[in-house]
Amino acid sequence: MPNQREILLLPIPFTDLRSSKRRPVIVVSPDKYNQLKKDILVAAITSNLSNEATGILIRTSDMEEGTLLHDSMIRFDKLYCLDQRIIVKRFGKLKRETYMAMIEKICSFIELEGTQEQRS
């Protein structure tokens, strides 16, 4: 069973669903969910560092376990729900602090337009 904060290699479908490519991802769904369900919620990871507006930079120093081959970007605009059975490889686990920073970015990204005004 994959654990939250784990970095994995999975085949990620292209948006047209015609094919897929193996890509690194980070597990976002909680461990309890991962134990009960066949799917996991993940965010894409890329070595393309050019889009900081929709990503958070991670380095090997951000890893609790394992290492990264390159500085990478977690793409919080690329979330997928995928079957656990398609996991190809495990790379390690992200530190809790870095993971929480990513979660904050995801929450900010998906917040509906105008919801901050409604809370005031």
Looking at per-residue confidence, does 31 or 15 come out higher?
A: 31
Report whether pLDDT(117) > 60. Answer: no
The top-level CATH class assigned to 6-110 is mainly beta
Report whether pLDDT(28) > 60. Answer: yes
Taking alpha carbons only, the member of 31, 8, 11 closest to residue 21 is: 11
Looking at per-residue confidence, does 19 or 117 come out higher?
A: 19
- Domains of the chain: which residue ranges? 6-110
Per-residue H/E/C for the chain: CCCCCEEEEEEEECCCCCCEEEEEEEECCCHHHHHHCCEEEEEEEECCCCCHHHEEEECHHHEEEECCCCCEEEEEEEEEEEEHHHCCEEEEEECHHHHHHHHHHHHHHHCCCCHHHHHC
Contacts of 72 (CB under 8 A, 6+ apart): 24, 45, 46, 47, 49, 57, 58, 59
Report whether pLDDT(118) > 60. Answer: no
Taking alpha carbons only, the member of 89, 19, 91, 85 closest to residue 74 is: 91
Report whether pLDDT(116) > 80. Answer: no
In this predicted model, what pLDDT tens digit does every residue of 29-88 receive, in sequence order?
999 999 999 999 999 999 999 877 889 999 999 999 999 999 999 998 899 999 999 999
In this predicted model, what pLDDT tens digit does every residue of 80-107 receive, in sequence order?
999 999 999 999 999 999 999 999 988 8
Q: pTM for this one?
A: 0.87
